[in-house]
Each structure stands twice: as structure tokens, then as C-alpha cells.
A and B are shown apart, each in its own frame.
Chain A
Amino acid sequence: MNITWFKNFNNIGLLALLAVFIALPSVLSIGYLNIAITTLHWMFLCSAYSFVMVAGLFCLMSSVFYGIGAYVPALLWNYFQVNIYVGMIAGVIVAAIIAVAIGWLLFRTKIPPLTFGTCTLALTFVAEYIVQSTGSIASEGMVVRYTGSDPFNFQFDDKLTWYYIALAMVVGIYFLSKYLLNSKAGLYWGTVDENERLAEASGVNTMKWKLIVMALSAGLLSIAGTFMLRYQMFIAPSIVGPSPVIQMVLLTVIGGVGSIWGPLVGAGIFVPIGELIRIRLAQFTGLNLMVFGFAVVFVLYTLRNGLYPFFKDIVGRLINRHEKQASASL
């Protein structure tokens, strides 16, 4: 990050955006701060989810990993007083193991992506039933034990701290995506997406790379689950059900699959809209879902690739026209 990095227009833009986000809480009331935290949380979720989309896997069981990240630390903390950070690591490990196991089971049958998608979606339903049927406190909605503000146990009372943690998570996953997608791993995932048979024939171990991306996505989602656990202090079984993952898919698709900014844009625009609708127009239950639905149908009908490539295209054209005018006037 030497001086030339700063001179790059893109990077200045990034820094400016980061500055805006850092300064944002000072102008937001507590209600809007809540919405901002939820937005950042969903930006993280969609980015974590989009890793598997990059590799061409239409994996719809992300809710299960998200829920594991919430339930494992919660159960360990409530019943065994295990530190939440340790619980978080345990959640990541459990999620990664399940991701690899299910991935291995389903990948070796060589089913088409659509069947893979429906099977993983079915697994979220199964997970929800299993959680609901345990008959323990987890089955109806679990409240996490609260023992006061404790940074070493991932418990903060101050909303502001949660905002900056969420922001740090989004920044972290942005740089992680940027690094991974431009590295050898990104190339391998790209080839698996393009043409899996050709990749296999070229010597890429597709099974290994698909399992790696599943485990990576699962681990990140699990971390997000622990964040949500501590932020909300309450988990319901629906977290492992189909709703979160469908929302992740829809937001990622609206923003544009395959780019790093796509999920961030999709979540960044539509989560605030959805939350505002949910809070202001609370008498119309489900209106925010309808808005998401309309957005997806509209985007896929007209823009095909998503909002972010569309914006990029427009901005690029404006810049080109500006440059052309500038050079024409010389």
C-alpha cells in the first residue's frame, strides 16, 4: 500500500466509502443504527454466500451453517458456560465438517445444479424440523443467557460497538473475497463454474475445490451466526429454515452474482428498504418480502446480470463520454 495505491481512483473511492460508513453512526438515531447494523450483517451474509455461487454451486443450505453458528455457541454457553469465542470456533468447525460431508455426498452423485439446489433447500427444511422436534428449549426460540457486558465473551451493551464490529466484518470479507477471487483458488473455482468436465480433464481436482469453497462459505456463515446470536440474544428455529437462505440468494442475485460488490450492493440497497417497510408498515405483514420478490423478478427480467454490473456499466459509459468530450474539445 504505497503512494501509488492511494493515487488510484478506485482505491480513493473505497477509502471515501469507508469513511462515510465510519462516520455514519454520528448522524443516525438508534432505530436507524439498528437498520444499519442489520444491513451490514446481511452484506456479510450475502458475500459469504456468494463464494459458492462463484464456484457455480447452487447451494441453498446456507441457513443451516448460519444456524449452526448461532446454536452451537449458544448451547455451549447456556449449558456449559463455554466462552463465546471458543463456541464460535466450535461452530465454524461443525459447520465446515457438515458442509464437507454433505458436499461430498451430493457431489459424487454428479447431479445437475438444479437438483443440488433443491436437495440443499430440502435440507434446510429438515434442519428446521429437527431443531423444532428436539423438544428442548431450542425448539421454540432460545434466549441466550445474559451476564453483563463482557468484551472477552463477545458481549457488548453499546449498539455503536456492534455497528463497528459489523463494519469490520464487512471490510474483512471484502478483502478476503478480493484476495481469494484473484488468487489461484479463484481461478480454480472459476473453471469449475465454467465447465466442470473440462476442468476435470485439465487436471483440476474439482471435488477438492468444491469442498473447499463449501467449507469456507460455511465457516464464514457460522461466524455471522455467532454475531447475530450475540446481537439479538435470541434464536428461533426458523434461522435454519429456508427463509434466510432464500433472502441471501435473492439479495445476491439482485446485486449481481460473480462480483465482489454485487452482494454488497444488493444487500446494501434492499435490506434498508425491507427493514423500513417492516418497521414503518408493520400492519402489512410480509410486504418487505413482496418488495424483495418484485425486485428479483424485475432485475432478472430486465438486467439479467444484476444491479452492480448495470451501475458499473452506466458509470463507465458516463466516464467514457466525459473523457471523449474532454479530448474532443482539445
Chain B
Amino acid sequence: MDQNAGIRLSSGVPGLDEILTGGLIPGRAYLVRGGPGTGKTIIGLHFLVAGAANNERTLLITMAEPEVQLRRSAEAIGFDLKNIPVLDLSPTSDYFAKMKTYDIFAPSEVEHDPITRAIVERIETIQPQRVFIDTLTQFRYLSTDAFQFRRQVLSFLRYLIEKNATVVFSSESSERDPDADLQFMSDGIIHLSNPEEWRYLCISKFRGSDYRPGLHAMRISKAGMRVFPKLSGENYRQKFEFDVMSSGVTGLDDLLHGGIERATINFLTGPSGTGKTSIGLQFIKEAAARGGRSVLYSFEEEIEIMLRRADSIGISARALKERGTLQLVKIEPMQYFPDEFARIVRREVEEQLTRIVMIDSVAGYRHAMRLGEEEAINHLFALCKYLQNMGVTVIVINETEGGWSENRSTATKMGYLADNIIFLRYLERRTEGSVELRKAVGVLKKRLSDFDKSLREVEITREGLHVGKPLRGISEILGSSSEWEPPRRPFLRSILAPTGE
């Protein structure tokens, strides 16, 4: 029986152990590969520092970067290597300055034995439990051919593992020197990449364990590396009741047959200025009155503007903020990766027990995360599913540009994501000699209960939201145009087409 069964070693990289379903399996050899500057050495340093912090014996074998430089680079990202011995096998400056080159024999014949002796000597002395080799590619130049290289590396890794070490080694792969052989020899592979301004990590092999697939965003800063595991909503579950949450506005609750249910995903969709955010704030206000905590993530408006808007419609968001039942967060463009943002939301939910999350808006989210439309929907889907599984009610603001056709398009694209869709639109109210611009609200979808199929006028004033009785006489709600001609009543016409007719 494997004596290491069930035991995991922390990689030392925040977020990576979660992807590795607990960490590295001891007594195995793991390859970290990627282009220049992707963070291979940093992962190795995290691995050793984590071991040292746990009073494990460690060893860093450097084949290319001198020890002095390595320690300096480590210090720059907050790593203290003072308890980590380094075996420096990198070429000294003598090699160049004193012309220590030779050509009578191949380097593979001359250097191999001394390097091997140096490694064996150090291993026998220290008996390390964690070894990081940076980079194993250098061994290729000590081998006479590919066959010898493979045998030497396999033998070397076996030697280390038989000495009870867990090994992480890096490789420098290029077109001229691909590292497919090292990939085959390793027990696990961590790929690092940095296309354009993003950084990613993915696992393609992990013998003896499951792992979270896909590309995971990562950041390298003065605190080292941090990985943001791709959020999979189905990995999270909490038990809860599907309580109905009233909006506190009678007409709106009538439309929704009581309100929205807990842990549902609610889309508020409509053109700019129709009151989507105000309705969202209304639900938050009511939840706060019942003691529930909410967080509003604004991707467009500044916090002060949001607070003033809330003040103007009779919602004392400032008071809620001070009481801790409302948190307003402005997210700047390109501030976070999507999974990094998801981690922030997760902390709110898991540590602060937040019960409502509002995202204002879909377009703002997409712009801030620099995502294409489909990517944005996929990320939002994962985030909303996580929130739903954790019993959190989600309010998503979706701005449409035109009339009803836009709302229908939203319903089509996001329909599978939303449990409830509340739509808002403009109306033209014609009276004798004048035309007024009015707003209306309706429900397009409600997954867990029936709903009122009518359209109602909505007014947003200093006293708050007011939703009136069903509008009668409107000939179409779902068509591209709608006219209302109530008997002996002012004539209302809806603005559905972009021209407003």
C-alpha cells in the first residue's frame, strides 16, 4: 500500500492546492514548464519555502542562475531563503573571463561525472524531503544522446524519490529542444503561460489524483505568485430554504406573485434610465430590513453617485452601509481577472455571509474583464451558479440599447442563466396636446412560480418606487410595437423601436 496515500504536500502557491485537489502527492516528481518569465522558478521557490516553514529539509539545485542572483530575486518577491540550502551548479564568470572553454572532449563526458558527484554528495548530506531543480533541461547537454538523457533523468528522479524526496523540476522548452520526454517522465505537469498581458496556469497531468481542468488565471507580484482557480459552481453546496423575498413595493410583488425567491438568479433588463438599478436597490433595502447583508458590484458608476441616486429615491444606502448590511464596491476596468473577481465574491459570501449579490451591469462586467460576449456569459454563469448553490440571491443588471426586440434578444441569450427576468421599457403617454415619457415594468420569466403577465407603469420618485395597476388596452407586449388605447383614457404608445415610435 502506498504509505503516502491520502497525504498531500502544499505547493506553497495560494490557490494552486485547490486546483490539485489538496496539493502534491509526496514522493513524486512534478514538471513545471513554460516560456521565459512565466514564473517557473517562483513556483519552485514557493514549494521550498512552504517545506521550510513546515520544518522539512529542502534543497534547491540551480543549473543556470547563480545562487547570489537567485537569493536576491527571491528576496524581491518576499521569499526568505536563509533556511534553504542551494547547490549552485551554474557556470561561473571564470568560464568566460578566463576562457575556460575546451573542445577536446564533449561537455557531456567532462561535466557529467563532477556534477553527478556534487549532487549525490549534497543529497546524502542533507537528505532533503523537497527538492527543486532549475532547470533539468541543462542535463540534456550532459548527455551524449536522447536515449542517454532519458535514462539519466529517469535514474536521477528515481534516486531522489528513493531518498524520500518530492521533486519539482523546471524545463526550458523550445522548438529546437522540445521537452516531450520530460513530460512523459514526470508524475505531473504544471504549464505556465503569459499571452499578452494575462498569465495562466493549467495542469495537464497529475498521476494518482484528480485535478481541476482548464486555464486558471494567476498573478505574480511582490508577494510571489497567486493562482485564481477557475470557478466551478457545482463544487459548492449549501442547504437553504427558497424563501420569497418581497421587494417592499406592492405592485412589483403583485407582478412577481410575492417577490423573488432566495438563491434565484434575477435579471433586470431594459434601456438606460428605466430604473433597473433602483429596483435592485429596493430589493437590497428590504433584505437589509430583515437583517440580510448585500453587496453591490458596480462596474460603471462611482460609489458616491450610487449613494446619491439611492438617496434621491428614498433609499438610505449610506445608513445601510454604516450598519454593515450593504457593501458597495466599484470595480475598475482591467483591475481583476474574472476568476480573481469571483474569488473576491466568494470571500464575501463565505466569510461575510452575504445573502444578496448585485452585479451592475453585464456590459460593465464584460468591459472590465475584457471578455468577449460568450466568454462573459460563461464566466457570469459560473459565478451565478456558485452563488445560487450557496443560497445567495443574485441580481444582474442588463442594459439594452433599443426597444422590446433587445429585451427578447437578452431573454434568448441569457434565458438559460436567469431564473427570473424582470423587464423595463419606456412608454409614450399621449394626452390631448402633449406626449409624456413614462416607464413600465413587466415579468418575462419566473422559474419557481407563476407571475402576473401584465405590464405596469413604474414611477421612481423621492418617496421611492411605485408600481401601478396593470396597463389596460395595450395591444402587444412582445411585438416590435405596441399601442394602448384605453376607452376614454389618455393614449399611450410604447417605445419599442430605436426611433421611439
Please say whether chains A and B are actual partners in one complex: no
